[in-house]
Amino acid sequence: MLKVTSQQHQHFEEKGYLIVPGLLDGKELPYYQSLYEDFIHNRVDASRYRSDLGGHVEEKKETPTERITQIMVPSRVLPELLKLSLHENTLSIARQLLGDDMTLDFDMLIDKAPYSNTATPWHQDCAYWIDMPDKRAVSCWVSLDEATIDNGCMWYIPGSHHLPMRAHRSAGKGGGALTCDADEKEGVAVPLQPGDCVLHHGGTAHYSRGNSTDTRRRAFITNFRPLAMVEYERSQGMDHTGERKVRS
Ligand SMILES: O=C(O)CCC(=O)C(=O)O
């Protein structure tokens, strides 16, 4: 299992993000790429958890139906994923960075198809969540392709997780995407090789450009937070499936 060094720990704590190269090895990567295609092409049925994260953009006839394909909670559809390397390795890193009580809150797939040209707007993940007394949270973004600036690698604003949360508003037309004021000049781009991972804190502002290339940009993402906070969320009807079920 990957050992987090004290320098990596310090980088995550100070900057709010951390690159972990080679999270998936040469044998594991093709397994996840192939599984991803099963989800995207509905050979694994996750239709109830599927939506267009790019729904905030004005409809244009010539654009594909989904601009940014988002499939929530793939491990709920295929629970065996929980025992495989991507989930096990990212859980181990999350625990080393933020404590042994970290547990999986949710996972998701975010796919930017070639020429889909749709940015993920600047946001902080915590803007999507209910307010929680314990704000420890980490998202692990595992790249299944080479992620470049032009196909939509992640950008982060270093240290933004230490500041008060920025004001968020709806990102635009339809869809549930939120955004905040931020600019690439404040941020750093994080290009990755296939199988690399970048982690970010729940308060770190981030964004990605649209995919303007002929290459795929597939990300498999796991999110972890303290078990007590996951239980708190569930008691409030929040399960990250895309539905909000408030208890009566
Ligand atoms: O993949 C993307 O473009 C956005 C991912 C994201 O916002 C996240 O993992 O929190």
The Cα–Cα gap between 114 and 135 comes to: 35
73: nearest Cα among 104, 97, 52: 104
Among the four given CATH numbers 3.40.50.1360, 2.60.120.620, 2.40.50.140, 2.40.30.10, the one describing domain 6-235: 2.60.120.620
Band (53; pLDDT cuts 50, 70, 90): confident
Could you give the strand order of the β-sheet that contains 50-52, starting from the edge strand earlier in sequence? 17-20, 197-201, 138-143, 217-226, 102-112, 69-72, 50-52
Query: How far apart are alpha carbons 196 and 22 in whole angstroms?
Result: 5
Q: Dihedrals φ, ψ of 223, to 5°?
A: -125, 135
Q: What are phi and psi of 81, to 5 degrees?
A: -55, -30
Best probe residue, ligand 1, of 112, 143, 221 (max atoms within 8 Å of C-beta): 221
Structural domain spans, the chain:
6-235
The finding on whether 192 has its CB within 6 A of some atom of ligand 1 is no
**pLDDT tens digits along 15-45:** 999 999 999 999 999 999 999 999 999 999 9
Indicate if ligand 1 lies below 6 Å from the C-beta of 223. no
For the cut 80, the answer to whether the pLDDT of residue 173 exceeds it is: no
pLDDT digits over 94-142, tens only?
Answer: 999 999 999 999 999 999 999 999 999 999 999 999 999 999 999 999 9
Ligand 1, atom nearest to 68 Cα? 3
Which of 128, 154, 178, 212 maximizes ligand 1 atoms within 8 Å of its Cβ, making it the mutation to test the pocket?
A: 154
